A = this chain, B = another copy of it.
């Protein structure tokens, strides 16, 4: 599968919404937040706290993306807010490529650390396995954070 990594464009919104929904991992509030950030990333504002890397297929259709930004009040910490790959494009290393491209952008911006928050619930086992496979380290666990029985896990990736 040929994958091209590039900037976010307005035409990506619909395919990225399909990619987000295709994973089955996000509830409606989460989908809404993800789309808000995409809209902010497409906005006219120049001082945008949301940065994006988009993965596009050979027809230049967006099949996944990462959304990240500098963490306020830190010197060189970035939060990876979302990393999504359309379900039928998974298993081709697209997520790893997105993370590597994100890390390269963060390095250019003098970032020292990428923080990734994810959930401990069973439905997120695939996501946790991905983060661990690509070299993220578990930094903290907040018991019952998202809801009772669903912990928050915080990973760090050193770019």
Closest to A75 in B: B147
Assembled-state Cα–Cα distance A147/B33 (Å): 29
Taking the complex as formed, is A146 at the interface, i.e. its CB lies under 8 A from any CB of chain B?
A: yes
Which of under 10, 10 to 19, 20 to 34, or 35 or more describes the interface residues of A? Answer: 20 to 34
- Copy tally for this chain in the complex stands at 2
Residues of B within 8 A of A76 (CB): 147
| Binary flags per residue of A69-80, CB closer than 8 Å to B gives 1, else 0 | 000111111000
Taking the complex as formed, is A30 at the interface, i.e. its CB lies under 8 A from any CB of chain B?
A: yes
Taking the complex as formed, is A144 at the interface, i.e. its CB lies under 8 A from any CB of chain B?
A: yes
Taking the complex as formed, is A113 at the interface, i.e. its CB lies under 8 A from any CB of chain B?
A: yes
Residues of B within 8 A of A115 (CB): 142
**New A-B pairs, 5, CB < 8 Å, besides A75-B148, A113-B144, A139-B142:** A33-B73, A74-B145, A74-B147, A75-B146, A77-B146
Residues of A whose CB lies within 8 Å of any CB of B are 29-30, 33, 72-77, 112-113, 115, 139-142, 144-148, 154, 156
- Can you spell out 23 A-B residue pairs with CB atoms less than 8 angstroms apart? A29-B72, A29-B73, A30-B73, A33-B72, A33-B73, A73-B146, A74-B145, A74-B146, A74-B147, A75-B147, A75-B148, A77-B145, A112-B144, A112-B148, A113-B144, A113-B145, A115-B142, A139-B140, A139-B142, A140-B141, A140-B142, A142-B154, A142-B156
